[in-house]
Structure formats: structure tokens, C-alpha cells
């Protein structure tokens, strides 16, 4: 059991409790689940602290304001005793914690959010061969993302997208040559830059994918945006003109878009194999 698995288990436990929960209850349940896996208490605490660092959870349930008549600004010690003795004052500190807005989104997309590497990889495996070059690069990109290295993530995921698109190019060119379109096949193979590959594939699919079909709608809505967005972010990371050219939000968006692109590429592979003529 690795750190990502502990973090995912912790998020699933938090999701069961809801938006507000008690730290000790969450940690105890995760500790019991990890008891037979040889994981140390420190690894569990590290995973909890990482959720804070990533902005998924925060301390407290709400904010208690001491009523005006209970305040004594001239006697600080008395003021502190009032706060400490009041039962509601404790809800603003540990052991209470709550999901942030970002945390609510993470829990809602628990099975595929990049912060949950295991779930993301499991979903990706449904549309992309885990043994492929692209999948290998994405797994490394997830690691850099969860270690707060967004620029490295952009480079790795951009390379994965290029590998996936080039694989689609090769399959499409082979099928075009087989069904009697050698000129179009040669044009695809001669494209030597990823932008040219993307545009050459679009030229083929614009002509060959039947109109008024679900695939056509998804292709027209997503192909250009998904393929070029990743390319542009990777270029920003690989040829920087400023410090921190890629933000964490950019890297997270790139990983999410990659999933959608992988789904579309898988559909296009099926179309090329079964229906391109």
C-alpha cells in the first residue's frame, strides 16, 4: 500500500462522513484499514497533512464569536478562559475539520481526479493500454503533479498526448492505404510536427466521419480543443518565457483533458478499424 492508496482511502472515509468530520475518527478508520498492510502511523499522518497542503480539507466546523457582554479586553487571561470554556469555541479548531470547495469537487470526482492517482489510472486503463508509452508518461506525470511540480507534469502529459495522437495517425494512415487512399496515407505519414499531424488527421476525419452521429458530435466538439490545448501548455513548459509558466490549475486541467482526449482517441481507433472506408 503506497501513499496514494492511503490518500484515496482517507478521501473515501471523509466522503462517508460528509462535509464536516472529526479528525480522530477519520484517522482511526484509516489506521485500522492499514493495520495489516505494514503502514506506519506517520505515513497516515503525512497523508492527512498533504490533504491540508493541497487545500482539500481545512480545520474547524464554523467560527464562534464571543458575545460582546462576555468580552473583557482589559483582562486577557479572563478573555482566554471564557473562550476555552465555551463548548462552541472548540468547533473552530481541531479535532473538527471540513471539506473546502476544492475538496468537495475532489470527493465528487473521487474515481478520476488527478489528486487520486490510483482512481485516475484505473479509469485511464479503460481507454488506454496501461503498457503503452503514453500511459507510462501519464503515470509519471501524476507523480509530479502530486509532488507539486506542475511544469514537469505539463511536459510529461504533453508527451503522452503526442504519443497517443501519433499512434492514431499511424493506424489511420495504414487503414487509408489498405482501403485505397495512398495519397492521403502518405500525407499523414509525411506530417513531421505534432500540429501538422493533428491538422492532417482533422482533414481526414472531417471527410470520413459520418455527419449526425454521436462520434461526429464528440469529434467536432472536442478534437481541436483537446489536442491543441495540451500542445500549447507543453510548449509553454518546454520553452518558458517567465517563471512558473504552468500553474497547478493548468496541470490539473491538462490531466483531466487528457482523460477526455484518450476517450475520444479510443473511439476514433474503433472507427478507423471498423468503419473507415
Higher local confidence (pLDDT), 109 or 247: 247
Q: Do 150 and 236 form a contact (C-beta atoms < 8 A)?
A: no
Do 50 and 140 share a domain, yes or no? no
Do 14 and 139 share a domain, yes or no? no
Query: Among 29, 23, 24, which Cα is nearest to 9's?
Result: 29
The Cα 1–Cα 234 span in angstroms is 32
Mean pLDDT of all residues in 21-34: 86
Do 10 and 146 share a domain, yes or no? no
Domain around 91: 3-108
Q: In what order do the strands lie in the sheet with 57-59?
A: 20-22, 96-99, 57-59
Mean pLDDT of all residues in 137-162: 91
Do 184 and 214 share a domain, yes or no? yes
Tell me the whole-structure pTM to 2 decimals: 0.62
**20 in helix, strand or coil?**
strand
| Average pLDDT score over the chain | 82
* pLDDT at site 62: 67
Do 153 and 259 share a domain, yes or no? yes
Among 15-29, 32-46, 167-181, 236-250, whose mean pLDDT is lowest? 236-250
Tally of domains in the chain: 2
Cα angle 218, 127, 6; round to 5 = 120
* pLDDT at site 91: 44
Query: Among 270, 116, 267, 272, which Cα is nearest to 188's?
Result: 272
- Start-to-end CA distance of the chain, whole Å, equals 48
Do 43 and 81 share a domain, yes or no? yes
pLDDT in tens, 181-215: 999 999 999 998 888 999 999 999 999 999 999 99
Amino acid at each position: 500500500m503506497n501513499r496514494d492508496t492511503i490518500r484515496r482511502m482517507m478521501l473515501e472515509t471523509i466522503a462517508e462522513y460528509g462535509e464536516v468530520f472529526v479528525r480522530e475518527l477519520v484517522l482511526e478508520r484509516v489506521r485500522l484499514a492499514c493495520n495489516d498492510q505494514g503502514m506506519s502511523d506517520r505515513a497516515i499522518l503525512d497523508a492527512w497533512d498533504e490533504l491540508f497542503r493541497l487545500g482539500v480539507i481545512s480545520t474547524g466546523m464554523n467560527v464562534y464569536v464571543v458575545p460582546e457582554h462576555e468580552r473583557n479586553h482589559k483582562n486577557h487571561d479572563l478573555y482566554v478562559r471564557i473562550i476555552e470554556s465555551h463548548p462552541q469555541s472548540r468547533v473552530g479548531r481541531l479535532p473538527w475539520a471540513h471539506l473546502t470547495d476544492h475538496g468537495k469537487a475532489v470527493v465528487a470526482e473521487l474515481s478520476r481526479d488527478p489528486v487520486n492517482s490510483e482512481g485516475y489510472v484505473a479509469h485511464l486503463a479503460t481507454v488506454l493500454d496501461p503498457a503503452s508509452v503514453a500511459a507510462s508518461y501519464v503515470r509519471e506525470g501524476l507523480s509530479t503533479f502530486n509532488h507539486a511540480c506542475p511544469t514537469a507534469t505539463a511536459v510529461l502529459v504533453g508527451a503522452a498526448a503526442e504519443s497517443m495522437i501519433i499512434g492514431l495517425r499511424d493506424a489511420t494512415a495504414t487503414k487509408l492505404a489498405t482501403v485505397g487512399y495512398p495519397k492521403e496515407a502518405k500525407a499523414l505519414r509525411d506530417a513531421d510536427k505534432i500540429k501538422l499531424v493533428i491538422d492532417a488527421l482533422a482533414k481526414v476525419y472531417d471527410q470520413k466521419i459520418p455527419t449526425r452521429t454521436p462520434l461526429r458530435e464528440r469529434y467536432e466538439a472536442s478534437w481541436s480543443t483537446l489536442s491543441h490545448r495540451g500542445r500549447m501548455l507543453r510548449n509553454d513548459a518546454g520553452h518558458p518565457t517567465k517563471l512558473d509558466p504552468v500553474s497547478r490549475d493548468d496541470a490539473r486541467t491538462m490531466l483531466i483533458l487528457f482523460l477526455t482526449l484518450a476517450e475520444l482517441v479510443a473511439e476514433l481507433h474503433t472507427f478507423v478499424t471498423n468503419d473507415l472506408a
